[in-house]
Amino acid sequence: MEPRIATFVSAHGFGHAARTCGVIEATRRLRPKARFEVFTTVPQWFFEQSLSRPVHHHHTPTDLGLVQRSSLVEDLEETLRQLEDWIPFRDQRLAELGTAVTELGCDRVLCDISPLGLAVARRCGLPAMLVENFTWDWIYRGYAHAEPTFNGIADYLEGIFASADLRVQAEPFCRRVDTAEVSPPISRMPRLDRDEVRRRLQVPTEARLVMLTMGGVEWDYAGIDTQLRRLESLRPETWLVVPGSTPKPRRVGRAVLLPHRSDFYHPDLIQAADAVIGKLGYSTIAEVHRAGVPFGYVPRPAFPESPPLEAWVQDHLPYRRIGADAFAEWGWLDDIEPLLAQSKRSPESPDGGELVAQRLLEI
């Protein structure tokens, strides 16, 4: 009998969904008929774009995470207010999801950092696998100095995360857990080669191409049309591709601006680039690591995940640190030359998706 996997995915950004898609594709390479029932509020189109075959998508909130004012700034007060509706998990919520998972015939549960999925697995008596590079109890404790209420929430969630039958920490992870297994970075795989992506972008094959990304989300690059004209003064010829920067695809000099949801697959764009500049986030790090290109990263100093990710990038990638203020004020344009001067670096290990898929099938 082919496995049927209830999959609970955090919708805090797209990074958890991207990592889960890497695991799903790797699992299907081993067991082509494996069925995934995905519970998340990450939009269905993201999975359709990221997977070679569709999954069964159930639009369901699976965790809260942090409420954010932007990709770089979180709202602690609103996070605590909304957590009142989440913690502790209501019995009715668990019962409804437990019934759905049972009626769908699921025989195991995969969670990318959703504690709700682990609680549902325990209620249904199903084995559960947790894939993480951080968990919400650890994140919330990082804010307890400012809001002590987070400590009680973290205590509750810590027990739920500990209930996983198998815990895999995907590099770069934030805090080592001795009972967990370790996986190399997990990324979605590119589908098109460098030259084909550039042909579709109408970027010269021999030009230097830099990708500017906020992790696949929309971002308001104020003054973009004026600032990007500065690219024309760079020699050798330098181009920029910027997903999430415009309602419709358009060109500004040597810059290709793409909407939040476009026909271009994020890993393909990274594969076609000579360097990437963007937010320090898991999926971008994993995809840049696979491509081996230099990474000009923008840290989020207030976010507990940021320092461990930054340390890992500095140990494993050609990099350049770009402060949030410099990024907002277009100072990163001055970082293009020193970033492109660095050499590509081949990944030190194979993608972790295969390892995680194997363990998921064994659980």
State residue 233's pLDDT score. Answer: 78
State residue 246's pLDDT score. Answer: 82
Lateral strand order in the sheet of 128-132: 56-59, 35-40, 4-9, 108-112, 128-132, 166-170, 181-183
pLDDT tens digits for 296-345?
Answer: 999 987 789 999 999 999 999 999 999 988 888 888 888 999 999 999 88
State both tokens at 192.
């098109």
Q: Do domains 4-185+352-362 and 194-340 have the same CATH topology?
A: yes
How far apart are alpha carbons 303 and 140 in whole angstroms?
10
Q: What is the DSSP string of 272-301?
A: H-SEEEEE--HHHHHHHHHHT--EEEE--T
pLDDT (tens digit, 0 to 9) for every residue of the chain, 363 residues total? 799 999 999 998 899 999 999 999 999 999 999 999 999 999 999 999 999 999 999 999 998 888 877 666 778 899 999 998 889 999 999 999 999 999 999 999 999 999 999 999 999 999 999 999 999 999 999 999 888 999 999 999 999 999 999 999 999 999 999 999 999 999 999 999 999 999 999 999 999 999 998 876 666 666 777 777 777 777 788 999 999 878 888 888 899 999 888 999 999 999 999 999 998 999 999 999 999 999 999 998 778 999 999 999 999 999 999 998 888 888 888 899 999 999 988 887 789 999 999 999 998
Prior bond of 308 cis (ω within 30°): no
Question: What is the homologous superfamily of the domain 194-340 according to CATH?
Answer: Glycogen Phosphorylase B; (3.40.50.2000)
Domain boundaries, the chain: 4-185+352-362, 194-340
The SS3 of residue 357 is helix
How far apart are alpha carbons 143 and 302 in whole angstroms?
9
State residue 85's pLDDT score. Answer: 86
- Count of Cβ atoms closer than 10 Å to residue 265 Cβ: 17
Q: Which of 283, 301, 269, 258 is nearest to 12 (CA)?
A: 283
User: Which helix H or strand E contains 118, and what residues bound it?
Assistant: helix 115-124
Please, which contacts does 28-31 make with residues 24 or more away whose CB atoms are closer than 8 Å? 28/52, 28/53, 29/354, 29/357, 30/354, 30/357, 30/358, 30/361, 31/2, 31/3, 31/361
The SS3 of residue 37 is strand
pLDDT tens digits for 284-294?
Answer: 999 999 999 99
State residue 183's pLDDT score. Answer: 97
Whole-model pTM above 0.85?
A: yes
**DSSP 8-class letter at 246:** -
How far apart are alpha carbons 174 and 136 in whole angstroms?
11
| Token pair 């195991």: residue | 108
- So what CATH class is 4-185+352-362? alpha beta
